[in-house]
């Protein structure tokens, strides 16, 4: 009878390291293949992305360990950062699709941020928005501590303010007037439902 050779089990740290290396290889392969289509890294232990990364489609970083993004990141469609420990976005970030930062610790947005579709900041500690923020679709600030809207705020869709200090202090008409007095607009409707989601 042949003797069985028992291989030692990998420790949790070794498994994490191997998983991280595998994810880094996946990113390199994606870049080598021309950065086309979506790059889904959700639920992986990735902590850092390469500089000057271009993603042709969606970039999904939901439930990762990413704390900040590289400068000059270009995302062809949407960027998902839900439940990631992201604290900072690079200056001049342009996202052609949606930017989803729901349930992250992000406290402020960079200057000159442009979002082609929806921007979701629900359940974040964000307290203020940068001036000249342009959002092509809807802007969700549900359940945030935001108390003031910025100058020249441009929202192409609906503005969701449920569960914010603004929703308790002002009416829809007052918020619309404040935004317009500061040179901005909301093309959709302003929603202030008092109940939390």
Report how many domains make up the chain.
1
CATH of the domain at 29: 3.80.10.10
Would 70 be classed as within a structural domain?
yes
Is position 100 within any domain?
yes
Q: What are phi and psi of 23, to 5 degrees?
A: -70, -40
Identify whether 67 is part of a domain: yes
Q: Would you state the structure tokens that stand for residue 8, as one six-digit string?
A: 């030692």
Q: Are strands 119-120 and 139-140 parallel, antiparallel or unpaired?
A: parallel
Map residue 147 onto helix, strand or coil.
coil
Domain boundaries, position 64: 13-191
178 belongs to a structural domain: yes
**150 assigned to some structural domain:** yes
Are 34 and 53 in contact, with CB atoms under 8 Å apart?
no
Give the three-class secondary structure for 185: strand
Identify which of 74, 2, 64, 135 has the alpha carbon closest to the alpha carbon of residue 121: 135
The answer to the question of residue 7 being in a domain is no
pLDDT value at residue 195: 45
Specify if 4 maps to a domain. Answer: no
Residues linked to residue 88 through DSSP beta bridges, in sequence order:
68
The token pair that represents 184 in the structure block: 């901005």
CB atoms within 10 A of CB 73: 21
pLDDT tens over the chain, length 197 residues: 555 665 555 566 777 777 778 888 999 999 999 999 999 999 998 988 998 899 999 999 999 999 989 888 889 999 999 999 999 898 878 899 999 999 999 999 988 788 999 999 999 999 989 999 999 999 999 999 999 899 999 999 999 999 999 999 999 999 999 999 999 999 999 999 754 43
Cα 30 to chain centroid distance, Å, stands at 21
């Amino acid at each position: 009878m042949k003797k069985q050779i028992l291989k030692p089990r990998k420790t949790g740290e070794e498994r994490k390291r191997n998983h991280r290396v595998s994810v880094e290889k996946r990113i390199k392969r994606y870049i080598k293949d021309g950065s086309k289509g979506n790059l889904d890294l959700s639920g992986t232990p990735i902590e850092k992305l390469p500089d000057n990364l271009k993603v042709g489609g969606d970039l999904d970083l939901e439930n990762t360990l990413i704390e900040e993004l590289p400068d000059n990141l270009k995302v062809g469609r949407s960027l998902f950062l839900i439940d990631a420990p992201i604290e900072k976005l690079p200056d001049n970030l342009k996202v052609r699709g949606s930017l989803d930062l729901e349930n992250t610790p992000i406290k402020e947005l960079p200057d000159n941020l442009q979002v082609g579709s929806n921007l979701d900041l629900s359940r974040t500690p964000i307290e203020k928005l940068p001036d000249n923020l342009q959002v092509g679709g809807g802007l969700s600030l549900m359940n945030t501590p935001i108390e003031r809207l910025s100058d020249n705020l441009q929202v192409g869709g609906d503005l969701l303010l449920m569960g914010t200090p603004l929703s308790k202090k002002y009416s829809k008409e007052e918020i619309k007037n404040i935004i317009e007095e500061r040179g901005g607009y909301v093309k959709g409707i302003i929603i202030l439902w008092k109940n939390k989601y």
